[in-house]
Each structure stands twice: as structure tokens, then as C-alpha cells.
Chain A
Amino acid sequence: MPDEIIYLDNNATTRVAPEVFEAMRPFLEGNLYGNPSSAHTFGRQVRRSVEEAREQVAAALGATDASEVVFTSCGSESDNWAIRGVLESAADKSHIITTRVEHEAVRILCERLEQRGHEVTWLAVDEEGLLDLEALRAALRPDTALCSVMLANNETGVLFPLAEIGRIVREHSRALFHVDGVQAVGKIPINVKELGVDLFSISGHKFHAPKGVGALYVRSGLKLSPFIIGGGQERGARAGTEAVPAIVALGRACRLAQEFEGHALIRRLRDQLEDTILETIPNARLNGTRDRERRLPNTSNISFEYVEGENILAGLDASGICVSTGSACNSERHEASAVLRAMNIPYTAARGSIRFSLSRYNTEREIAYTLSVLPGIINRLAEMSPYEEALGRRGEAGKS
């Protein structure tokens, strides 16, 4: 086992960047503990830092005005607030359009809303994970309140063409357009104005800020019913004393993301990992479109057919490599992920799906090491699999 952990699960969460940590540190150990709502010096100092962070987030998202950014506790809160807030503000419209591959924060919420009487249109994806935009056009109605579509899929990295979706939504309805952008920030450039979105959710810990902070972009002119009611923080949009250190960290992480120049390296390492696996491991197949322009540059979701994803995870874990699988058998029913099911990935493939997701901190050496141990792990599990024929291992039957 190597001395250090090789972390290839950056779509789950990321390490806090040292620059981000340094930015938030004075707000944890120094005198900068004031309440931003206080009128005195301590309050005003901190208020200034919160507003600075707001500007940093607005800049990273391409918002015209910092006041369009509202801080939240996480991506799920942003998603929940956006969707419920829109429905509450538009009582005459109750139809929702979303996709079958959204993050749980959107998908499970919409399922619940559906149970409570809202009509929901679930847009399907094809085997590459891509949307049929004609279906979206056909689904839009006068009473459509909201269209909620993610920018980048957390499991496959597949990107949805938001600019086109936004245009269709505006041309064919009066619905608002919410985007779960959690998985995209820090990985690809974002411009909410160009994308034509009304609401955009982000989460700090996906791009090197700590856990527990997110934001919702609310296009200026749009009045969203507050989700958390109380004091007048965030100009009445979200009550609760601001999580100043985390907000400062989120702002710093946004600036760090904007200034980052190493995207090409991440992409090269990902390509190298993906290409080598697909070329050298016989039962490997890519989940999500092969068109890399339509996928996040850091993500590879690969199925190792006829072997168990959880066991690959355990094998890599024993080698100090962290990844995730789309098929965890930790529930009563073993379920392949909703995303892979929506893509019609065969069951025997979905079962062996592994997501590799890289960050700025991964190195060539780490990728080389991963590529050196992976074939052995897959081979051992393939020997154990009763699907010899499918694996082309018929001749080996009978060997012990």
C-alpha cells in the first residue's frame, strides 16, 4: 500500500485548498468573529468580508450583480429552495419539468412533489446520457412553473446543453429555468447570463471549500419566496446568521477556481486513465457519451462488466485508492444507480460501475499507480464471476 491515499473521488467531495483554509482561518481564530448584522466595528469588518465573498461568487458565475448571489448551507438546500420557492411564488402554475438523471436533491424532491399533486414531466436520456430536446419542447405548457435541469451529471460527468435548453424554455413557455450546477463549478467555465438561467445552485465542498456552504444564484428581478424564515439576513432571502468563515471560504474557492490554469493537466490525466482502462481491460465499457466535449474533463464512469462494483471499490481501497461505485449493496434491495438505469445500462454492467473523478491535486504518478493495480483487481474478481462465457473465460473453467 502506498504511504498516501490516492483520492479519485472528487465528485463526492474535495479537499479544502490551503489558500481557502488560510482565507477562512482569521474568522475562526482571530478577532473576526463579529456578527455581520451588528452595527459596530466588529460587525462591519465581517460584513465587508461577506460582501467580498459574494462578489467573488458572482464573478465566478458570470452574474451581473453580486446581489444575485444568496448564501446557503449546501447544494441540496439551494436546489430545494429554488424549486419550492418557485412553486410557492407561482401558485397558478404547478407543472414541473426535470430529468431522470438529476441529483437526489432535485429528483427525490420532485418525486415527493409529484405525490403531493404536482404534475412532473421526467425527461428521459439515451444510452449516452444525453437529453432529447424535442421532448423538452413538447413538454412545455402554459402552466409549467419550472424547468430544472442539471449542468453536469455527478455520476457520468455528462453535460447538458443549457444555453439551448434555456432558449427552448423561454421561447415556448413562461416557466423559470433552474440549474443544478453543483458538479460543474470549478471544472468548467460558467456564465449564468450566457446560459440564460434564472436560478443556479452551487456547493462549496465540490471545489475545495469546506462542507456546509453553498449558494443560490437568483436572477435580479426574480422574487423567490424565502425557504428559511426569521431575521432579515441576506436581504430577507434567507434567514439565519451568516456562516462567515464558510462564506469567506466559498468566495476564496471561487476565485481560486477562476484563476486555475491546470485544467488541461486534469483533462490529460483523466484521458490517460480512461483510454488505458478501455484499451487494456477487456470487460471495461464507458458510461456516458464518448464525446469528451460533452463531458466534464475530470470524470470517467466505467463499468467492468460481470464483476461487482463494491468489490472493485474494496480492492482499490485496500491499495489506498478512493473511488465510488454506482452500485452499493447497502440497502435491502441492491439497486444500480438511478442515473445508470435511466441510461438503460445493462444490469450486469451497471453492477460493476466505477466512477473516477479527479481534481487539481492528482498527479501523473497517482494515475500510473492506479493503472498498475486496477487490472489485477479486476482479473481476480473476473475469475470469481460465474459469467465465464461472457467474460471469454470458458476455457478456464475447472481450474481452481
Chain B
Amino acid sequence: MKNRKRRANDLLSSSNEMSFYPSRIQQHFDAPRNMGDLADADAIGDVGSLRCGAVMRLSIKIDAKTQTISDARFKTLGCGYLIACASVLTETVKDLPLSRAALLNEAALRDWFGGLPQEKAHCAVLAREALHAALADYHNARQEEWTGDEALICTCFGVSEKSIEGAIDKSALRTINQVTKACNAGGGCRSCHPLIEDILDDYWRNVSPKI
């Protein structure tokens, strides 16, 4: 009888050791990194999933000089997987240049966990969407604040049309890649690539008669 009791207890305790979530998820569920809000956030990304109904908010602080994310916090109404994705996301984007943050995708988060179950893959997508929403928020604010006379083309790096034209003129640039290398324009979210394309076209159309 005693033996049987002990065996039952062993079974119970070994099942206790197994956490509710897989350990890499559980550690972030138990102790999420950077949970909360930033009182002086430069940008906020609020997103919700139509698929699962979870919501997440990412607040970021941006060092304008270095164009780098200096701090990040999250809040969420979502499952342990989303908490873990958000937690890892905030750790990943801290000290990351905006140009690289813009390129961060859900695969990077998935890989951090060594993959996510199919039904939880959308948690990583939602975390990435929160980041992109925060970056868009920052760019929109920049655009509104822009006081220069010329049009602002690359909002990620605050590069105006005039600066881009100047760079093209100076070094006879032909491609977007060359423009990015020369003046950073287009190195972030890439949403201005069609505009840079237009500027390149216009420039070379205007100069071609001289050749």
C-alpha cells in the first residue's frame, strides 16, 4: 500500500516539473522582460489580431541622433506564447538601428524559440506587426513635425528630396541601393523606394540631353 502511494506521488511530482508552457516560453511567461509602458515613448504600436483576438502594445524610445531604438516596453492581452514573443521582441530591438528594426520579421522571433507550433505562429506575426506599427507611428510623427521647405522622402532617416537629388548629382548614382549607401535614404522601411525611383528617373531624364 505504501509502495503504491509513493508511486502515485512520484507520478504527480514528475508531472509538476513539466511546466504549463514549453520551457523557453514559460521562462518569459514567468518573468517577462520589459513589460509595461514608457512614459516618454517616442512611438507606440497598438495592434490586435483578427485571428485570435489578442492585443499588444509596443512602446519605443528612439535616439534621434543615432536613429536607434534605445528602449522598448510591451503590454498584452494574449496567451503565454504572445507574452514570450513580445518579451523577446523588446530584448531584440533594444539598441537596434531603425533601419535594421524595420527589416525584423516573425521568422527571427520564431527562430529564437527554435520554432513555434503552427497554431501559435500568428503570435510572432502579431509581435512583428506591433513593431512595424510603432515604427510607422514614429515616421508619421516625423512627417508631421517636418518643417523643412522640401518634401521629406525617407521618413525613417529624415532625408529630404533635395538631399537625395544632391547625392545623385554628386556621385552620379543610378540605383536605390547606391542612394541608400550615399545618404541613408531608403534604408529603413523601404516604403519610399518608389519615390526614390521617381527622383532617379526625373534626374536622369533631365540630364540626358546634355549627354
> Residues of A with Cβ closer than 8 Å to B?
1, 5, 306-308, 310-311, 313-314, 317-318, 320, 329-334, 347-348, 351, 383-388, 397-400
B75 x A311 contact (CB < 8 A) = no
- The answer to the question of B61 belonging to the interface, with a C-beta cut-off of 8 Å to chain A, is no
- The answer to the question of B136 belonging to the interface, with a C-beta cut-off of 8 Å to chain A, is no
Q: Which residue in A317, A333, A348, A398 is a CB contact (below 8 Å) of B20? A: A317
Q: In the assembled complex, which residues on chain B have CB atoms less than 8 Å from the CB atom of A331?
A: 119
Q: A314-B29, A398-B39 are in contact. Are A386 and B57 (CB under 8 A)?
A: yes
- The answer to the question of B188 belonging to the interface, with a C-beta cut-off of 8 Å to chain A, is no
Q: In the assembled complex, which residues on chain A have CB atoms less than 8 Å from the CB atom of B78?
A: 308, 329
A1 x B16 contact (CB < 8 A) = yes
B80 x A397 contact (CB < 8 A) = no
Q: A314-B29, A386-B57 are in contact. Are A332 and B77 (CB under 8 A)?
A: no
Interface size for B (C-beta < 8 A) is 31
Q: In the assembled complex, which residues on chain B have CB atoms less than 8 Å from the CB atom of A307?
A: 77
- The answer to the question of B128 belonging to the interface, with a C-beta cut-off of 8 Å to chain A, is no
Q: A308-B78, A386-B77, A400-B73 are in contact. Are A334 and B52 (CB under 8 A)?
A: yes
- The answer to the question of B12 belonging to the interface, with a C-beta cut-off of 8 Å to chain A, is yes
Main secondary structure of the interface of A (DSSP, over half): loop
- From B30-38, B98-106, B161-169, B191-199, give the one contacting chain A: B30-38
> Residues of B with Cβ closer than 8 Å to A?
12, 16, 19-21, 29-30, 32, 34-39, 46, 51-57, 73, 75-80, 83, 119
Q: A5-B12, A333-B52, A397-B39 are in contact. Are A384 and B76 (CB under 8 A)?
A: yes
Q: Which residue in A306, A318, A330 is a CB contact (below 8 Å) of B77? A: A306
A384 x B79 contact (CB < 8 A) = no
A-B contact pairs, 10 of them (CB 8 A): A1-B16, A5-B12, A308-B54, A311-B79, A311-B80, A311-B83, A320-B16, A334-B54, A385-B76, A385-B77
A332 x B80 contact (CB < 8 A) = no
Q: In the assembled complex, which residues on chain A have CB atoms less than 8 Å from the CB atom of B37?
A: 388, 397-399
Q: Which B-chain residue is minimally distant from A398 (CB atoms)?
A: B39
Q: In the assembled complex, which residues on chain B have CB atoms less than 8 Å from the CB atom of A311?
A: 29, 79-80, 83
Q: A314-B21, A314-B29, A332-B51 are in contact. Are A385 and B119 (CB under 8 A)?
A: no
A385 x B29 contact (CB < 8 A) = no
A384 x B29 contact (CB < 8 A) = no
Q: Which residue in B12, B51, B75 is a CB contact (below 8 Å) of A334? A: B51
Q: In the assembled complex, which residues on chain A have CB atoms less than 8 Å from the CB atom of B21?
A: 314
B10 to chain A minimum Cβ distance, whole angstroms, is 13
B16 to chain A minimum Cβ distance, whole angstroms, is 7
B8 to chain A minimum Cβ distance, whole angstroms, is 11
Q: Which B-chain residue is minimally distant from A327 (CB atoms)?
A: B53
Q: A318-B20, A330-B119 are in contact. Are A310 and B79 (CB under 8 A)?
A: yes
B79 x A329 contact (CB < 8 A) = yes
A386 x B80 contact (CB < 8 A) = no
Q: Which residue in B16, B52, B73 is a CB contact (below 8 Å) of A329? A: B52
Q: Which B-chain residue is minimally distant from A1 (CB atoms)?
A: B16
Tell me the complex Cα distance, A397–B52, Å. Answer: 25
A387 x B20 contact (CB < 8 A) = no
A385 to chain B minimum Cβ distance, whole angstroms, is 5
Which among B19, B51, B75 has the greatest number of chain A C-beta atoms within 10 A?
B75
Tell me the complex Cα distance, A318–B46, Å. Answer: 30
Q: In the assembled complex, which residues on chain B have CB atoms less than 8 Å from the CB atom of A386?
A: 46, 55-57, 75-77
Q: Which 10 A-B pairs have the closest CB atoms?
A: A398-B39, A334-B52, A314-B20, A386-B75, A386-B57, A400-B36, A329-B79, A397-B37, A310-B79, A334-B53
A351 to chain B minimum Cβ distance, whole angstroms, is 7
Q: In the assembled complex, which residues on chain A have CB atoms less than 8 Å from the CB atom of B12?
A: 5
B39 x A384 contact (CB < 8 A) = no
Tell me the complex Cα distance, A141–B38, Å. Answer: 62
B122 to chain A minimum Cβ distance, whole angstroms, is 8
A310 x B119 contact (CB < 8 A) = no
Tell me the complex Cα distance, A183–B55, Å. Answer: 35
Tell me the complex Cα distance, A384–B32, Å. Answer: 9
B51 x A333 contact (CB < 8 A) = yes
Tell me the complex Cα distance, A147–B111, Å. Answer: 53
Q: A384-B35, A384-B75 are in contact. Are A314 and B53 (CB under 8 A)?
A: no
